[in-house]
Amino acid sequence: MIAAGARRFQRRLLKDVLARHAVAVGGVGVIIAIVLIFFYLLYVVVPLFSAAEAEAVADYAVPGEAGATLHLALEEQTEIGARFLGDGRVVFFATGDGRSLETATVAVPDGLNISAFGAGTPARGIVAYGLSDGRALVARHVYRVTFPNDVRQITPAIEYPMGVEPLTVDPQGAGLVKVAVRGGEDQATIVAATADGRMVMTRLSKESSFLDDSEVWESNTVTLPAVAREVHFLLLDPEQRSLYVASDDGELSYFDVSDADEPRLVQRLRVVDKDRQLTTLRFLAGGISLLVGDSAGTITQWFPVRDARNNNVLTRVRDFREQRAPINAIAAEFDRKGFLAADARGWVGVYHTTAHRTLLVAPVSQATLTHLAVAPRANALLAQAADGRVHFWRLHNEHPEVSWSSLWGKVWYESYEEPDYVWQSSSASDDFEPKFSLVPISFGTIKAAFYAMLIAAPLAILGAMFTAHFMAPRLRRIVKPSVEVMEALPTVILGFLAGLWLAPFVENYLPGVFSMLLVLPVGIVVAGYAWMNLPGRVRHRVADGWEPALLIPVVLGLGWLSVFMSPLLEEWFFSGDMRQWLSHEMGVGFDQRNALVVGIAMGFAVVPTIFSIAEDAIFGVPKHLTQGSLALGATPWQTLWRVVLLTASPGIFSALMIGFGRAVGETMIVLMATGNTPVMDFSIFQGLRTLSANIAVEMPESEVNSTHYRVLFLAALVLFMFTFLFNTLAEVVRQRLRRKYSSL
């Protein structure tokens, strides 16, 4: 018997050791998993904040024969560059070594000289040659890709999208000294400054013949209002609505040319500081913003902003001051709001406007840089210096759109009247300006959790107090498991019901829903008072602790009454429509899927978590404390308030914090019960978008390793850090409460 007992003891000891080590391994495993998640999120996010890198690839003499360079361009694969010369030749060359591949000559009629040159939208490759007889020849450089014998071959060529014959721009035949062109499939516009000081605009539209299906370009020419100074810069936006004319002293005239028959001067202003010269003027991608370079090395961004009179006013938005020499050339990226700038020292800067970020400033040449081109994918640059050398560099600049200010600060976006917090990650437009502010979705996360806790916390804590301290044991054994079973309901079902049933119900019975907030508490108090005033022989028929069962019909009846009276209340107090009353009288908008719906649905999901933990904490208070308090003459309520709650406060606080964390991380309910609108409005009648819902919605459509993809991981990291820090703070507070009241 002794030996058998010893063996049993040894087995129990072994099981105890194994269990202890298993629990330790499990705990350490959880910590390791959390740390790995954190570092993986960090691994994906860190590249967002890396600076641009540039690498010199080749440096060679200007390709082709001697001549003045008008324009440089790069094709998409960065294998071929194009150099446009003042005599009409276009030299296509290998960017790697400067070897001339082909020389094309534009079809300038004999006896005419090229007197002006203008480049259109870089993505379309359209250029215009102004001629000495008032006409203009529009050409386009294209690069055809073929695969003979499975080897990629790029063939450059010059095309004439508006015909090989020059188009009449100035009917008076004066030479063109400046020219700007923008063209689409069916409409094009050419604006020119003439040698005799006039400005003319020709709007062309494609017309098809009914007889032979041929296409001709019909033109309409108007004379623009004169400008006071000599024209040095002429820019026409891609939509062919806005025209900018500037002189080298920085005076700029802004014209509205949307009406081709009546162009009008909108604004005249100076775009450079005093004692500075305007050295270059270019459009940012999209043609909304102007990039202004001056003789001191400063680059400013300007775009039209609507003023109080609803007029577009060109406004200075942001400056870049990293370069110290005159800015001679600016090349805008094709499909991002970034640009490159070359200065007289031979340095090139890489910038991004939305992020207000300088990514790189590096020396490219010892001589002054005169021309600059960027590849369509913004992964290479081509620069020509005054010493006759061409420099080809590779760029690595994957995520210029992100900076601390663009994520957490107000940003002045194009076409916005003022700086704002905006999340808008995608658009159908190629030149869309991504808006990656995390503030609206972080605000939405806090807003959703706040309203959920506003509804859940009082119900759960008060319910736990009554269940643990006042309720009959038999009824408690029914109520507590029933509430905990609610937690097993899938949140997708709750979100589905909230979006398709609860949201329309709240909208249709809005006065009734709000009247419940007053009617139910008052009704319950009145019912309790009436019960206490009933004769003792009636009250004693219900055992102590079973009173909540009597409130079920009261609550159901008052809820039904509130809904039943809702149309009448709406008619009496809100002119028949509470939503319109809120909008017109209170200036509060109403969205059907709003924070109220989220608060009710998510509060329903959070109640079981808070209730279960808080009820266990209250019920677990040692009985000798409650019995001692009652023995000293305290009432049950005084015992609960002065003894039980203080002792159980660490557990109640933990319940609230865990419930709050549950609300912060909830995805499906906020995804289905809100309009998912990332707005900064704390109104209970407005929708929202949370961090978790935003990740769930946009992650499937984001390109792997793109800026959008990594910013979503950053949102996950923010959510991770938020819950980690909040729970850590909560644990510190809980431990202090535990030490403070452990002596009770």
Helix 439-469 and helix 473-485: axis angle, to 10°?
Answer: 160
Are residues 284 and 178 part of one domain?
A: no
User: Which pair of tokens denotes residue 203?
Assistant: 């709007």
**455 within domain boundaries:** yes
pLDDT of residue 21: 87
Are residues 286 and 248 part of one domain?
A: no
pLDDT of residue 206: 78
Q: Taking Cα atoms as reference points, which of 210, 292, 203, 308 lies closest to residue 254? A: 292
Residue with tokens 């003891």: 9
What average pLDDT score do residues 340-369 get?
Answer: 94
What average pLDDT score do residues 584-611 get?
Answer: 87
> CA–CA separation, 313 vs 291, rounded Å?
16
List of E strands, 5-133: 53-61, 69-74, 80-85, 89-94, 100-105, 114-119, 126-131
* Neighbour-count burial for 591-612, b at 16+ CB within 10 Å, e otherwise: bbbbbbbbbbbbbbbbbbbbbb
Assess whether pLDDT exceeds 70 at residue 741: no
**18 within domain boundaries:** no
Indicate the pLDDT class of residue 213, thresholds 50, 70 and 90: low
Tell me how crowded residue 302 is: count the other CB atoms within 10 A of its CB: 22
Are residues 221 and 115 part of one domain?
A: yes
**What is the CATH number for 357?**
2.130.10.10
> CA–CA separation, 381 vs 413, rounded Å?
27
Assess whether pLDDT exceeds 90 at residue 59: yes
pLDDT tens per residue across span 93-105: 999 988 999 999 8
pTM above threshold 0.85 = yes
**643 within domain boundaries:** yes
Indicate the pLDDT class of residue 150, thresholds 50, 70 and 90: confident
Are residues 162 and 279 part of one domain?
A: no
User: Which pair of tokens denotes residue 275?
Assistant: 């004692």
Are residues 453 and 408 part of one domain?
A: no
Q: Taking Cα atoms as reference points, which of 562, 527, 530 lies closest to residue 548? A: 527
**Which three-class secondary structure state does DSSP give residue 287?**
coil
Assess whether pLDDT exceeds 60 at residue 412: yes
pLDDT tens per residue across span 272-319: 988 899 999 999 998 899 999 999 999 999 999 988 788 888 999 999
Residue 324 CA: distances (Å) to CA of 327, 345, 372, 621, 647: 9, 8, 18, 73, 68
Are residues 382 and 493 part of one domain?
A: no
DSSP code string of 434-493: -EE-SHHHHHHHHHHHHHHHHHHHHHHHHHHHHHHHTS-HHHHHHHHHHHHHGGGS-HHH
pLDDT of residue 451: 92
**151 within domain boundaries:** yes
Are residues 245 and 194 part of one domain?
A: yes
Residue 147 CA: distances (Å) to CA of 94, 144, 157, 318, 721: 18, 10, 17, 46, 51
**What is the extent of the structural domain holding 342?**
275-422
Domain termination residue (choose one: 422, 457, 486): 422
Domain termination residue (choose one: 422, 455, 481): 422
Are residues 366 and 405 part of one domain?
A: yes
Indicate the pLDDT class of residue 209, thresholds 50, 70 and 90: low
What average pLDDT score do residues 48-56 get?
Answer: 90
Residues 6+ apart with CB under 8 A from 632: none
Q: Taking Cα atoms as reference points, which of 690, 698, 700, 701 lies closest to residue 668? A: 690
Residue 546 CA: distances (Å) to CA of 269, 416, 466, 686: 81, 62, 11, 41
> CA–CA separation, 738 vs 733, rounded Å?
9
pLDDT of residue 701: 86
> CA–CA separation, 301 vs 304, rounded Å?
11
Q: How many domains are there within the chain?
A: 3
What is the side-by-side strand order in the sheet with 251-256? 233-236, 242-246, 251-256, 264-270
Are residues 258 and 175 part of one domain?
A: yes
What average pLDDT score do residues 217-246 get?
Answer: 86
> CA–CA separation, 253 vs 269, rounded Å?
7
Assess whether pLDDT exceeds 70 at residue 690: yes
Domain termination residue (choose one: 232, 254, 270): 270
Residue 325 CA: distances (Å) to CA of 279, 302, 332, 349, 732: 11, 21, 19, 12, 56
pLDDT of residue 310: 81
**173 within domain boundaries:** yes
**49 within domain boundaries:** no
Are residues 301 and 174 part of one domain?
A: no
pLDDT of residue 479: 87
**What is the CATH number for 611?**
1.10.3720.10
Are residues 633 and 488 part of one domain?
A: yes
Assess whether pLDDT exceeds 70 at residue 428: no
Amino acid letter at 20?
R
**499 within domain boundaries:** yes
Residue 60 CA: distances (Å) to CA of 98, 99, 120, 214, 392: 6, 9, 27, 46, 9
250: left (phi over 0), alpha (psi -120 to 50) or beta: left
Q: Are 549 and 556 in contact (CB under 8 A)?
A: no
Are residues 290 and 195 part of one domain?
A: no
Assess whether pLDDT exceeds 60 at residue 744: no
**646 within domain boundaries:** yes
What is the side-by-side strand order in the sheet with 290-294? 278-283, 290-294, 299-306, 312-320
Q: Taking Cα atoms as reference points, which of 250, 336, 263 lies closest to residue 298? A: 250
Q: Are 191 and 203 in contact (CB under 8 A)?
A: no
